[in-house]
Amino acid sequence: MPVFTYEAMDAKGKPTKGTLDVANQNEALTRLKEMGFFPTKVVESDKGKDKDKKDSKDAKAPAAKAGAKGKPKGGALQFNIKIPGLGGKVGTKSLCTFTRQLATLVDAGLPLLRGLTVLGKQEKDPTLKEILGKLAISIEGGSTFSESLAQHPKAFNKLFVNMVKAGELGGVLEVTLTRLAEFAEKAEKIKGKVKAALFYPMAVMTVAVGIVVLLMTVVVPKFKEIFNDMLGPGQMPEFTLLVLAISEFIQHNIIATAGIIASIIISFKLFVRTKFGARLFDRFLLIMPVFGPVILKVAISRFTRTLGTLVSSGVPILQSLNIVRETSSNIMVAEAVQKIHDSVKEGESITAPLESSKIFPPMVVSMVDVGEQTGALPEMLMKVADNYEEEVDNAVAAMTSLLEPIMIIFLAVVVGSIVIAMFMPLIKLMDSLGSEGQSDK
């Protein structure tokens, strides 16, 4: 008999785990409900599967021996070929499209299982197509939609799963799916705007690095030979000697130079992965010039949008705060959300820890306070999110207009320094020739 592993909550909300020896998943769910548990995950364990496989092998052993005479001796080689793209993450655009289409089908009255089958047949993304097939099989076996989604954490995060669960319990799955689609589309829109704004400075930096490498490895070495013939070795200005030394090092130590750059990048990434490094870097991101205001506005917009969407979908406030904390990309914001969670858990308001975090502006704190007092917190959070999304647009435009002169000045300083270093020996040579002419007179 198969063995099913379950995760559930008891009447007091305490999580519990265990196993059941039952015939199928439906019987496992029924048994858990009879025990007074609220199941969150019920899957067949590997132990039960291995046992079934062993039994089937033992049953097939005589037949295998009888038919072995007609086959060549030796075991056949078996290969498990994994197709690239399957089993990985689903693209944001594909997930948005799927969520929007499923919401439309469910709203039109089509059963959920039928909707998943229809979308699975027309899906072009191989990863999502495979997942949709597994979701249909799981639901057909008696699992709820949210339980089936929870089995694919790489594709569907906790925000998605919990909102679907709340929609199922409230009987408004199509409304929840629509909200999820809108949430994902707006998040992707903000991300696209920030990426577009960062494209220009990255392009300028790439061009600047290319120009500098070309000058230092091709142009500058030729000037060195000319200056040595004209002034003699070691008679050039100190700044010129410095530039020539750097050029010679880059030219003859390309591997060492690449190694130094790679070691700096790797060391930085390893430092950022530590708890202290990540916290320090995330704090710097929020206060850094030019980029800081944009990053902060994006973080506030994401926090308010996520929390507002969860609460308006019927997810409990404490559970919503946990999800917001786990899906936050900035540690400073995650710590602020944790303080809010602890405050609400103790029966206090959201406003006090929100204000003490020093991350959220007074306007956000005031609007959340009004939302708490009037009982319209979800609506107020969504208004804050809409407002900050507009501010993100303005901040991105301001950042782009400010970065243009900064990049031009940076490029001019780098290239201009090399040009000046090459002209200084010529100026020195002209001065020496002028002084010799005056002495001859």
pLDDT at 14 over 80: no
Supply the DSSP string of 183-195, one letter for each residue. HHHHHHHHHHHHH
Report the share of the chain in percent with pLDDT over 70: 84
CA angle 166, 170, 171 (to 5 degrees): 115
Q: What is the pLDDT at residue 118?
A: 87
Helix, strand, coil in percent for the chain, rounding step 5: 75, 5, 20
Q: Does the pLDDT value for residue 12 go beyond 80? A: no
Which residue type is seen at 104? T
pLDDT tens digits, residue range 62-108? 434 334 433 343 333 333 333 344 445 777 788 888 888 888 888 88
- Amino acid (1-letter code) at residue 414: V
Degrees, nearest 5: CA angle 381-341-189: 40
- Which tokens in the block code for residue 290? 């030019």
Q: Please give the pLDDT value at position 266.
A: 93
pTM: 0.61
Q: Are 37 and 8 in contact (CB under 8 A)?
A: yes
Tell whether the model's pLDDT for residue 147 goes beyond 80.
Answer: yes
The model's confidence at residue 263, banded by pLDDT at 50, 70 and 90, is: very high
Judge whether residue 330 has pLDDT over 80: yes
Q: Which long-range contacts link 206-212 to residues 24+ away (Cβ below 8 Å)?
A: 207/411, 208/407, 208/410, 208/411, 208/414, 208/415, 211/411, 211/414, 211/415, 212/414, 212/415, 212/418
Specify the higher pLDDT residue, 42 or 234.
42
pLDDT at 440 (0 to 100): 55
Residue 162 CA to residue 218 CA, distance in Å, equals 60
- Reduced to 3 states, what is the DSSP secondary structure of residue 202? helix
Please, is 36 exposed, middle or buried when counting C-beta atoms within 10 Å of its C-beta (0-12, 13-18, 19+)? exposed
DSSP-H helix ranges across 317-376: 317-327, 331-345, 351-356, 362-374
DSSP reduced 3-state for 219 = helix
Write the pLDDT tens digit of every residue in 352-372.
888 887 888 888 888 888 888
Is the model's pLDDT at 244 over the cut of 50?
yes
Q: Mean pLDDT over residues 161-186, rounded?
A: 80
Buried-exposed string 189-203: b where 16+ CB fall within 10 A, e elsewhere: ebeebbeebbeebee
- For residues 391 and 48, which has the higher predicted lDDT (pLDDT)? 391
Backbone angles phi, psi at 3, to 5 degrees: -110, 125
Q: Is the pLDDT of residue 340 over 80?
A: yes
What phi and psi, each to the nearest 5 degrees, are found at residue 42? -135, 110
Angle in degrees, CA 251, 255, 261, rounded to 5: 100
Q: Quick one: pLDDT at residue 60?
A: 44
Instruction: Name which of 172-181, 191-200, 428-437 the model is least confident about.
Output: 428-437
Q: What is the reported pLDDT for 328?
A: 80
Q: What is the pLDDT of residue 435?
A: 63
**Residue length of the chain:** 441
3-state secondary structure of 18: strand
Q: Is the pLDDT of residue 143 over 70?
A: yes
Mean pLDDT computed over 10-30: 73
Cα gap 112→106, rounded to integer Å = 6
For residue 66, the model assigns a pLDDT of: 39
Q: In this prediction, what percent of the chain has a pLDDT beyond 90?
A: 1
Q: Which of 5-19, 43-57, 89-103, 418-432 has the lowest mean pLDDT?
A: 43-57
pLDDT score for 136: 87
Weakest-pLDDT range from 8-17, 19-28, 242-251, 322-331: 8-17
